[in-house]
Amino acid sequence: MAGPVTVGLFSAEKKMERWLLKNVFENKLRDSKKLSKKKREEIFEKFKEMKIEGKIDFTVAHSSPKFIDNKGISKAIQTGIDRSLEKLQLSYDRKDIVILLDGLLKAPKEFKSAGGRTKTIIKGDEKDVFIACASIVAKVSRDRLMCRLAKKYPKYGFEIHKGYGTARHVELIKKHGLSNLHRASFCSLIINRRSLG
């Protein structure tokens, strides 16, 4: 209901798959939301170390609430995918790259038209180690951002619920109206649109 939509991209060689599964996930993949906050944070810090060592790479892209309201959530997610690929400077014509996507996500048209290989996996963060890693990168990055933004919008408790539609969040929206951080298109059924500026 509030905050950006965040796309995580995780890049590693295929040979890292088993190592990540064993050493990061203890041989059991789980949706990032089902991991404890402490465990997600530990994994994220490990990823940061591995990135510095050149073993992996990752990035995130956020699409703002205003973008979501104007263009829709699907376009916001697709834009995030495009931006993430640009950040990692992955060449679309490389045949040795496979882009794995969670759920109903799609790779950029430019990638497909250049002959790139893609694979979409429903509930991918529970079935593929690389998608699980990308999910953690996105979740931790977005949660940290929402905690920082909570200081700018202290009336809403973003540091607690991270913008999700909890009962407490709904109560606070009803009490204070919508902030600039809220997705008005997601909140319109709960409260009359009223921006606090």
Q: How far, in Å, CA of 177 to CA of 191, rounded?
A: 7
Closest CA to 23 of 43, 40, 48, 45: 43
Measured at the CA of 170, the angle between CA 167 and CA 173, to 5 degrees, comes to: 155
Cα–Cα distance list, 190 to 1, 70, 122, 166 (Å): 10, 19, 30, 12
Give tens-digit pLDDT for 14-47: 999 999 999 999 888 877 888 999 999 999 999 9
Q: How confident is the model at residue 197 (pLDDT cuts 50, 70, 90)?
A: very low
pLDDT above 70 for 114 = no
What's the rounded mean pLDDT across residues 88-111? 74
Query: Which has more pLDDT, 11 or 92?
Result: 11
pLDDT above 90 for 192 = no
Provide CB contacts within 8 A for 46, sequence distance 6+.
Answer: 24
Q: What are phi and psi of 112, to 5 degrees?
A: -65, -45
Q: How far, in Å, CA of 27 to CA of 151, rounded?
A: 38
Note the pTM of the prediction, 2 decimals.
0.88
Domains and CATH numbers, the chain: 5-145 (3.30.420.10)
Helical segments of the chain, H only: 16-23, 37-52, 65-71, 73-87, 109-113, 129-150, 158-161, 167-176, 184-187
pLDDT above 80 for 93 = no
Closest CA to 188 of 175, 173, 176: 173
